Amino acid sequence: MKQHDTSSNQVPHRRLVLAACMLAMFMAAIEVTIVATAMPTIIGELGGFSLLGWVFAVYLLTQAISVPIYGRLADLYGCRRMFFIGTLIFLLGSVLCGVAPSMLWLILFRALQGLGGGAIMPIASTIIAHIYSPVERSKVQGYLSSVWGISAIVGPLLGAFIVQHFSWALVFWINVPIGIVAMLMLGRYLPAAEKGHPHQLDLAGTGWLTLSVSALLLALLQAEALGVAMLPLLAVALAAGVMLVRRERRAPEPLFPLALWQSRVIVAGNIGGLIMGAVLMGISAFLPTFVQGVLGGTPLEAGTTLALVSIGWPLASTLSGRLMLATSYRVTALCGALLLIAGSLILLLVAPGQTLWWARLAAFTVGAGMGLSNTTYLVSVQNAAEANIRGIATASTMFSRLIGSALGTAILGATLNLNLQQRLPGVNDPVQQLMDGAQRTALGSDRLQWLTEQVAVSLHWVFVAAAVMAVLTLVSVWLMPGRQRPVEPEAEGSRP
């Protein structure tokens, strides 16, 4: 089946389709925060604390693998069909997670959840791109971005309420009614794809992609535990990546069509997504540690500081549509890049003994930069891609951001660990000593000041690395065509 742009005349209930897509994206976005809040309770019942990291890592792993596959399948067989399949798998995994008898089973069911979750974000965004014109997309994608801000605030609150008053299984089962409503709305109001000549997914390319991404993410996510043992995994990832490229060049219907790499806009969007994912980890993973460990803040203060990223993101994303229409993709992406750089530099001003306002200003500024940049890259990529490859084009930007997040975690985590080893040799887990209230209280004032200063300097270098990554976003800005912006189809010229 071949996807075509669908006019508003063909989809008379576009707002209901948009509402269904926003519901689906809310379900997927809230998953991470609501589960993280409930994990202490889950561990208390199931045990297996040593496996805690895998509950999140395996979800990210299977999601990252499946995102580009679903994107391509949506192009070949229709968005509606693949959305239903992915959502049903996600909901099945959610139901099974709620009845998991042990941590090992929970990890297995989380993997199934991720396999389905990889369909939701890219296909929902692609559906919106199919039913709205290029100019309209720049405005509507801002609504989709607001889902992230809402989920980041609602998720922790809802998770805490559920585990306090109900069984922790409800944290997973709450997905079921949301997903069913979204599917019913799309089944009722979204037209099915037109029938065309038969297609076949590039199974060999899919296999090489799965092997390459699995090895790469395992190496990055488990870098600290593996040490030099990660090198064979990286070698496997590289070898499988080479085989994937060779396969793609001769496949009749490749997983990543050649047209993706012939467009400067799409290439820029993928590079931008990769770097943004890495920069975001400098905030989301290490800023709360700085607030609690160095500034002595409470978990609530750390959470509210990080929440400012989710507030700045949708606000800037909403404004990005107007800015794109008034200027160009490049100007809007440049504004986003400058905000990312400014937010990262503000982090370098945060020091022990200061108030939280510098940290909060940095979080809000980075969030605004992410909102401008992410929406610009997504809209520009969707507008640059022909309708029959828009699914994989959209998925590729999200896939790049997922890989960037894993890469950023590994690089920034290694930066922190190397600094701690150099500055605090022989000290067992200094960050935990500062983060844990009982251990922190037991430290003498001199030792507390010494540990705080050394951890602060170590985290400072993490923020330096994040700032360097933020500067690299200018590369993707430079790749953007200078004067291109969203235009209506009748006004469009040739695509790059």
In a domain, 316, yes or no: yes
The CATH number that applies at residue 195 is 1.20.1250.20
Amino acid at 299: P
The domain tally of the chain equals 2
In this structure, are 329 and 426 located in the same domain?
yes
State the number of CA atoms in the 13 A half-sphere of 449 facing the CB.
Answer: 3
Residue corresponding to tokens 């809209």: 379
In this structure, are 66 and 195 located in the same domain?
yes
The Cβ of residue 489 has, within 10 Å, a number of other Cβ atoms equal to 11
Nearest to 393 by CA among 286, 191, 258: 258
In a domain, 228, yes or no: no
Q: What pLDDT score does 196 carry? A: 54
In a domain, 442, yes or no: yes
Give the helix ranges, DSSP H, for 47-133. Answer: 52-77, 79-98, 103-131
In this structure, are 473 and 400 located in the same domain?
yes
Nearest to 356 by CA among 415, 401, 307: 307
**Cβ atoms 65, 116 nearer than 8 A:** no
Bridge partners (DSSP) listed for residue 194: 2
The Cβ of residue 165 has, within 10 Å, a number of other Cβ atoms equal to 8
- Give the integer Cα–Cα distance in Å for 29 and 49: 24
In this structure, are 191 and 273 located in the same domain?
no
The Cβ of residue 230 has, within 10 Å, a number of other Cβ atoms equal to 21
In a domain, 220, yes or no: no
The Cβ of residue 9 has, within 10 Å, a number of other Cβ atoms equal to 6
In a domain, 59, yes or no: yes
In a domain, 250, yes or no: no
| Token duo for residue 356 | 């939280």
Residue corresponding to tokens 């809402």: 150
Asked which of 181, 201, 221 is the last residue of a domain, the reply is 201
Instruction: Show pLDDT as tens, one digit a residue, over the chain (496 residues).
Output: 444 455 444 667 888 999 999 999 888 888 877 887 777 788 778 877 667 778 888 888 888 889 999 988 888 888 889 999 999 999 999 999 989 888 889 999 999 999 999 999 899 989 998 888 888 887 787 778 778 777 777 877 788 788 788 888 888 998 999 999 999 999 888 887 665 556 677 788 888 888 988 888 888 777 777 777 788 888 998 999 899 888 888 877 787 887 788 888 899 999 998 998 888 877 877 888 888 888 887 777 887 888 888 888 888 888 888 888 888 889 999 999 999 999 989 988 887 777 788 889 999 999 999 989 988 998 889 888 888 888 888 888 888 888 888 888 888 888 888 888 888 887 777 777 777 667 777 777 778 888 888 888 888 898 999 999 999 999 989 988 877 877 766 544 433 3
Q: What pLDDT score does 8 carry? A: 44
Alpha carbon 478 to chain centroid, angstroms:
23
Bridge partners (DSSP) listed for residue 2: 194
In a domain, 76, yes or no: yes
DSSP code of residue 191: P
Domain span at 449: 262-496
Q: What pLDDT score does 474 carry? A: 92
In this structure, are 165 and 280 located in the same domain?
no
**Cβ atoms 379, 324 nearer than 8 A:** yes
- Give the integer Cα–Cα distance in Å for 25 and 461: 35
In this structure, are 375 and 284 located in the same domain?
yes
In a domain, 217, yes or no: no
Nearest to 139 by CA among 378, 308, 369: 378
